[in-house]
Structure 1
């Protein structure tokens, strides 16, 4: 059984996001640009600093620091992932990769459902 730890205090977090089926799509220039723009857009309305970020073909690692008293990283990631999916329609809606559950939940084929944080 998978156990997801969710921090409730503090304001620096480590994340790992993985592409859907570990496809090497994070090398695609359009997706990289969409990701950069999405992060910039979210930071305007929900500030955070990126202390470190490493992108690999099928996943990325980030360390974020949020403002004092703010631990809502989940909404930030949701907005970022949604934006990348919206602006990368060819990669986001590959019908050959979407199963019944993905169609039911209107999920894209860019990201896995969850992200890890420590």
Structure 2
């Protein structure tokens, strides 16, 4: 089993990137946004975390999230989110013999990227990155035009002007 080098900061705030499996291209995450929200809410009710910023794109998502004080286990939260989401979908994706042998679905890449937020400036830079991502990938010209993002809640709270980012 792999031993990834992760920075475990109890009560830490992290930036995450989680990718759909690019090998099978089995799913467009946007088509299952409501299901993903339900799964996240369910996992969050049992394993709390604060979700500060998020964006969902067709093949990946980004989050900025904080763990409760004294808690450093973000990996079990991601394992549960990915597994519960995958179980809720019909089995339509092509699977490798390895995936079949292991009982895997092929919806998500095994790994994900995390970065522990160091300070307020780092937090702001990553929140901006999250919200700008649909523009970066050419999905929209203006951040406000992408519906699958926390950007709209940040505008409502007065943290961004509506015309920010494009």
Quickly name the TM-score band, shorter chain normalised.
0.7 to 0.9
Q: How does 1:1-118 map to 2 (within 5 A)?
A: 4-10=4-10, 11-21=12-22, 23=25, 25-28=28-31, 31-90=32-91, 93-94=92-93, 97-118=94-115
- Separation in 1, partners of 2:6, 2:14: 10
Shift of 1:4: 4.6
Q: Which has the higher contact order (CA 8 A, sep 6+)?
A: 1
User: Runs of 5+ in structure 1 lacking a partner?
Assistant: none
Task: Spell out, residue by residue over 1:21-56, the C-alpha distance to the aligned partner (whole angstroms, 9 max, x if none).
Answer: 17361121xx21221011000111111010110111
Contact 2:15-2:62 within 8 A present in 1 as well: yes
- Separation in 2, partners of 1:88, 1:34: 9
Contact 1:54-1:61 within 8 A present in 2 as well: yes
List structure 1 segments (4+ residues) > 4 angstroms apart after TM superposition: none
SS of the aligned residue for 2:15 comes to strand
- Separation in 1, partners of 2:29, 2:79: 17
Bigger CA radius of gyration: 2
Root mean square deviation, CA, Å: 1.8
Alignment coverage as a number of residue pairs: 110
Contact 1:27-1:56 within 8 A present in 2 as well: yes
Shift of 1:109: 2.2
Contact 2:8-2:73 within 8 A present in 1 as well: no
User: Runs of 5+ in structure 2 lacking a partner?
Assistant: 116-166
